[in-house]
A and B are shown apart, each in its own frame.
Chain A
Amino acid sequence: MKLISTFIIGLIFGIGITVGGMANPAKVINFFDVAGTWDPSLLLVMVSALVVTAVGYYFVLKRPHPVFEDVFSLPAAKQIDLPLIAGSTAFGVGWGITGFCPGGSIPALGLAIPDPFIFVGSMIVGITLAKFLRGRNAFKTVKTHN
């Protein structure tokens, strides 16, 4: 049941990414090309995603626990440190070069075109290498219930 639920939620995410144009590198790069062929679409994608999530979280996180779990798993890290800034900078450089972000590239695999597979393969090498180099979980969470 839980796994069917996460599949459906993943599907909604993937449909949203596709409809919004985030799986299309040309559209993503055009959003960032303010000095050239600017396409403001992705601003609306990000703002509407943010607004819906902020309103939804406001109500959801007041509940005692999630439907299928005893606790909410929220990110443990609080500090603004060098890995956060340097990593985010590198991510931005890679996003600017390719027009692919992780959330755009994974659904793009469903298009059955070679380019997203090449990107995701290379990204997986990068994530795995960084996991081994750091030797700790960059996505450690703390479990909370109200």
Chain B
Amino acid sequence: MTEFTPLEAILGGSLIGLASVLLMAFHGRIAGMTGILAGILPPIQADWAWRATFLLGAIAGPVAVSAITGTAVPFENPVSLGAVIVGGFIVGVGVNYGSGCTSGHGVCGMARLSLRSITATATFMAATFITVYVVRHILGGI
């Protein structure tokens, strides 16, 4: 069980949006986590440095939040380690073939009204809803 946190959700979403706008305004880049990450994985792209600093900034995010609020960031992993390993691999292959994830397609691409991104987002959201239903209500957890 997690509580509905509407104010945090709107604040968090707005900050994600702000970061996406700033990355385009200052650097002309799409704030898609998959694309940014893929560029620092072999074969590494020439422009790896801005990608690495963006990723380091993102990793510093929760550190900054717990420093500001003075409390631990809520975290709970409800699935087994085996599921995390298998799921992580499926996500990695999927986001490369799909050319993006929630941030790249779901936020940046949809904001540009890209038909590819709208299609990708509808597809992965539907697949996720179905998967969670199957895992939780048919398999009874993994």
Contact = CB atoms under 8 A, between A and B. Distances in A.
A90 B51 CA distance: 25
Contact of B115 (A80, A102, A106): A80
A13 B21 CA distance: 11
Nearest to B23: A9
B90 A127 contact: no
Classify the interface of chain A: helix, strand, loop or mixed: helix
Given A19-B8, A45-B9, A127-B37, A75 B97 contact: no
B107 A46 contact: yes
Given A39-B2, A88-B98, A96-B130, A48 B83 contact: no
Contact of B26 (A41, A42, A68, A73): A68
Contact of B58 (A41, A79, A84, A106): A106
Most chain B Cβ neighbours within 10 Å, of A74, A75, A108: A75
Contacts of B105: 88
B39 A139 contact: yes
A138 B45 CA distance: 12
B78 interface: yes
Contact of B20 (A46, A49, A93): A49
B116 A139 contact: no
Contacts of B120: 84-85, 87-88
Contacts of B38: 127, 131, 138-139
B32 to A, nearest CB: 7
A35 B131 CA distance: 12
A111 B92 contact: no
Nearest to B65: A18
A36 B140 CA distance: 12
Interface in A85-104: 85-104
Contacts of A11: 57-58, 60-61, 64
Contacts of A106: 33, 37, 55, 58-59
Interface of A: 2-27, 29-30, 32-37, 39-54, 56-57, 60-61, 63, 65-69, 71-75, 77-80, 83-111, 113, 115, 118-131, 134, 137-139, 141, 143
Interface of B: 1-6, 8-35, 37-39, 41-43, 45, 49-51, 53-65, 73-79, 81, 83-103, 105-112, 114-116, 119-121, 123-137, 142
14 contacts: A16-B13, A26-B77, A32-B133, A46-B107, A53-B20, A56-B18, A72-B24, A75-B114, A86-B98, A87-B94, A95-B128, A110-B62, A118-B81, A130-B96
